[in-house]
């Protein structure tokens, strides 16, 4: 039996030598998830607490951020629980439905966070479009909050329609992943958990550690996947169920923010000369848009790259990309803090 300080070298499985992540590497990822996740939880809790303390939960510019912070808080909490279960050895000796549902909830809530990020961008776009139309009609009183550059709450009928559209987008962002993603991922992960240990090195001395507690991307042909011939399609769909929403949000946010900035420029041209405050608000909006998109790319770019590699590099060894696993574990939990 290998010790924790001297792991056994990888042994051939079905004639192939696999180099899955070692026990020490998984422990490093677990500690990173817990540490950076705790920072994000504190930041999200601070945002929600500040909104409650100031009585701004129903403010049209605040409630999308509160919803996004709530999703980040819940998702990161589930991630910390999953990592904690792995650190306590909860899944080392036998399959665990608790781990399966913890990882399923983690993924579903992060997809909710993706949707709420897109919903926030959609609201900014609707607000800028309303302000642009009001400027075209010669009414600029309230369609834009120049103090923060993100849009105001006025705009009459158009504003009311935009308000309900934003609420609908937030509702869909919460409901769709929780209904579809949680059921799919929990059921599939439970199946993996019950079948995958036929391959694992748990106690066999082959140096391979398989755990369903820690939500990480497994490469194709990884010995921790079930060996049955029908397992390739479910595991691919598990990854795509996370990566496709992530890609859609990356592209969607860029498109919506570009449209929002374009409408702001149209509004400014229709207004003619700008006051110093309006010019400063315009610069502030552009800066916020750049920061918001940048934060999302920094948080989820490594995750998307790692997930994509796990789809296409079936013969590569996982330990070659340990640096990317570390980058993912350090950046993905930080979205709440960076926001």
Instruction: Give the tens place of pLDDT for each residue, 133-151.
Output: 887 776 544 444 443 444 4
Q: Is residue 246 part of a domain?
A: yes
> What is the model's pLDDT at position 194?
55
Alpha-carbon gap, residue 107 to 79, rounded angstroms: 9
pLDDT tens-place string over residues 97-132: 677 778 888 988 999 999 999 999 998 898 888 888
Task: Tell me the pLDDT of the chain averaged across its residues.
Answer: 77
Q: What percent of the chain has pLDDT over 90?
A: 32
Q: Is residue 87 part of a domain?
A: yes
User: What token pair was written down for 181?
Assistant: 């993603």
> What is the model's pLDDT at position 270?
79
Q: Averaging pLDDT over each range in 82-86, 140-144, 155-159, 275-279, which range is the top one?
A: 82-86
Question: Domain of 107: which CATH number?
Answer: 1.20.1070.10
Q: Is residue 332 part of a domain?
A: yes
Q: Is residue 176 part of a domain?
A: no
Query: Does position 304 have pLDDT exceeding 60, yes or no?
Result: yes
Alpha-carbon gap, residue 117 to 115, rounded angstroms: 5
Q: Is residue 188 part of a domain?
A: no
- The pLDDT-based confidence of 38 (bands split at 50, 70, 90) is very high
Q: Which of 214, 193, 209 is nearest to 10 (CA)?
A: 209
Query: Does position 153 have pLDDT exceeding 50, yes or no?
Result: no
> What is the model's pLDDT at position 94?
52
For 4, phi then psi, to 5°, come to -70, -20
Alpha-carbon gap, residue 53 to 155, rounded angstroms: 28
Alpha-carbon gap, residue 273 to 262, rounded angstroms: 17
> What is the model's pLDDT at position 208?
52
Q: Is residue 157 part of a domain?
A: no
Q: Is residue 175 part of a domain?
A: no
Rounded average pLDDT over 283-304: 90
Q: CA-based Rg of the chain, rounded to a whole angstrom? A: 23
> What is the model's pLDDT at position 144?
40
- The pLDDT-based confidence of 4 (bands split at 50, 70, 90) is very low
Q: Which of 37, 113, 111, 112 is nearest to 81 (CA)?
A: 37
pLDDT tens-place string over residues 160-217: 676 788 888 899 999 988 888 666 655 665 565 555 444 444 433 444 556 678 888 8
pLDDT tens-place string over residues 63-105: 889 999 999 999 999 999 999 988 887 655 455 667 777 888 8
Question: What is the DSSP secondary-structure string of 75-123?
Answer: HHHHHHHHHHHHHTTTTSSS--HHHHHHHHHHHHHHHHHHHHHHHHHHH
- The pLDDT-based confidence of 49 (bands split at 50, 70, 90) is very high
Rounded average pLDDT over 222-230: 54
For residue 296, give its domain range.
23-135+235-338
What domain count does the chain have? 1
């Amino acid at each position: 039996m290998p010790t924790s300080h001297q792991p056994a070298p990888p042994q051939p499985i079905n004639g192939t030598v696999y180099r899955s992540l070692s026990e020490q590497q998984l422990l490093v990822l677990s500690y990173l998830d817990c540490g950076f996740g705790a920072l994000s939880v504190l930041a999200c809790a601070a945002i929600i607490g500040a909104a409650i303390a100031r009585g701004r939960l129903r403010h049209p510019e605040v409630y999308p951020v509160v919803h996004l912070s709530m999703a980040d808080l819940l998702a990161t909490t589930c991630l910390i629980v999953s990592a904690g279960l792995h650190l306590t050895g909860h899944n080392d000796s036998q399959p665990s439905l608790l781990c399966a549902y913890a990882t399923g909830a983690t993924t579903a809530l992060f997809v909710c966070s993706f949707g709420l990020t897109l919903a926030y961008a959609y609201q900014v776009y609707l607000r800028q479009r309303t302000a642009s139309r009001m400027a075209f009609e010669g009414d600029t009183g309230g369609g834009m909050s120049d103090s923060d550059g993100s849009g105001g709450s006025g705009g009459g009928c158009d504003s009311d329609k935009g308000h309900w559209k934003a609420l609908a987008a937030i509702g869909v962002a919460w409901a769709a992943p929780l209904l579809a993603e949680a059921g799919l991922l929990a059921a599939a992960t439970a199946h993996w958990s019950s079948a995958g240990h036929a391959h694992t090195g748990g106690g066999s001395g082959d140096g391979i550690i398989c755990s369903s507690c820690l939500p990480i991307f497994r490469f194709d042909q990884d010995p921790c996947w079930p060996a049955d011939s029908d397992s390739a399609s479910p595991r691919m769909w598990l990854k795509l169920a996370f990566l496709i929403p992530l890609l859609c949000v990356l592209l969607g946010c860029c498109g919506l923010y570009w449209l929002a900035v374009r409408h702001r420029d149209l509004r400014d041209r229709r207004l003619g000369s700008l006051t110093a405050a309006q010019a400063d608000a315009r610069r502030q909006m552009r800066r916020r848009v750049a920061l918001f998109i940048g934060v999302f790319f920094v948080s989820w770019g490594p995750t998307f790259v790692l997930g994509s590699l796990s789809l296409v590099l079936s013969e590569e060894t996982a330990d070659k990309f340990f640096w990317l696993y570390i980058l993912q574990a350090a950046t993905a939990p930080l979205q709440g803090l960076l926001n």
